[in-house]
Amino acid sequence: MLLVLSMIGTGADLLLLGHYENTTQQLPLGMIALALPLTAWYVHKQSRASALAFNGAMVACILVGLAGLFFHYRGNVLFELEMQPAMKGLPLFWEAIRGATPALAPAMMVYTGLLGLIYCLVNDPTNHS
């Protein structure tokens, strides 16, 4: 349930924020749209195929989240450098990490992917521990 709530909540938040202006912004929404039915498939029928598809989707969620962290942070850095071209080092980092675009928000996709991988590991029928 936590995994599904994480995906639904993140997807709803992205939609409410209008996070779909370009392909890059649509990636997390697309991943959620793909991962939800794969999650249902895996939960309903734990097979090798469903586990591979589910794990692949979770790894992709992690990658999309990491890319989002990069894009959000980079966007904030570029904005700060437009405002103060001489800024660098720790002051630039600090302003960018706290910038207008939430630099750490994409970590939710990383969390979702990791939660899914943990779920799969715990529910692996071949794991007899």
Residue 66 is assigned to a structural domain of this protein: yes
In angstroms, rounded to a whole number, what is the distance separating the alpha carbons of residues 82 and 124? Answer: 50
Residue 128 is assigned to a structural domain of this protein: no
Residue 31 is assigned to a structural domain of this protein: yes
The pLDDT > 70 percentage for the chain reads: 96
pLDDT in tens, 96-108: 999 989 999 999 9
Contacts of 116 (CB under 8 A, 6+ apart): 3, 35, 39, 54, 55, 57, 58, 61
Give pLDDT, residue 31: 97
Residue 36 is assigned to a structural domain of this protein: yes
Give pLDDT, residue 30: 97
Give how many domains the chain has, as a whole number.
1
Residue 14 is assigned to a structural domain of this protein: yes
Note down the domain range covering 93: 2-122
Q: What is the pTM of this model?
A: 0.90
In whole numbers, what is the pLDDT of the chain averaged over residues?
94
**Residue 72 pLDDT > 70:** yes
Nearest to 60 by CA among 31, 93, 83, 39: 31
Give pLDDT, residue 37: 97
Residue 107 is assigned to a structural domain of this protein: yes
